[in-house]
Amino acid sequence: MKRRFYQTLFELNASPWIATRLKRFAESSVSRHLIPSFAKVYDIAVEEAEQPLHAYPSLHAFFTRHLKPGARTIDESSETLVSPCDGKLSVIESISEDSRFEVKGQSYTLAELLGSQQDARRYAGGTVVVLYLSPRDYHRVHTPLSGRVLSHYELGDRSAPVNELGLTETVRPLSRNYRRVTRFDSPAGTYEHIMVGALNVNTIEWTLEGDQAEKGQEVGYFSFGSTVVLCFEKDAVQMNHEKMGPVRLGDVIGTIKTN
């Protein structure tokens, strides 16, 4: 029963009216009393949190918590690609020439995801990396590579859940939901860093100041349920298929291909 409540709260699988009120509740001081229960239900590693549980003013503040220094290790090699967040990793390689790919049985096109057929052509034959964050995960998002922001924009106004059920049964939530698309120039060439928001409310906060980001640097966070998508050009990266499934921020998930 408790897990069902928290899934509804943080994945916001409800009407816009209910979702807005659930968000307000999670941000209220009253919700702080649920933090120990939430941490227990999802078996969250509370020892990694920057502050003790009683120090968080709301359930939302705990959900978007920072971690203690050293809780995650970012691989520093110039040749590696690291996970930009905690989550469940899946990879789609060799995107078709018409930019079509599949996630959880759903068909997408990069043109839909990026909002531009011209931009999508850049990634034909390339790689799409999808990371789904569950309520138990650390919900701040970082960079997989060092790089410079070339552009950023926001898309989407549809409300659909981005939990695993939503990815399977809702009509293309990754390309319909509110999302922030940021294009980076990096050692692996140009790539797209896409944060996909949750149901019915804008839940993406961008924290990067300026247009330069070091490898593993925080760029934003999700207030509620969420997904991160990375798009790389053809022959830019080689993914590590042994890492499919649960990963943590800073884990090596691939390498940069050299010509």
Q: Which residues are catalytic?
A: 86, 142, 226
What does the block give as tokens for 86?
A: 């905690």
The whole-angstrom separation of Cα 249 and Cα 131 is 11
Q: Which amino acid is at 43?
A: D
The whole-angstrom separation of Cα 116 and Cα 183 is 13
133, 85 Cβ separation under 8 angstroms: yes
249, 48 Cβ separation under 8 angstroms: no
What backbone phi and psi angles, to 5 degrees, belong to 58?
A: -160, 165
Residues 6+ away with beta carbon under 8 Å from 30: none
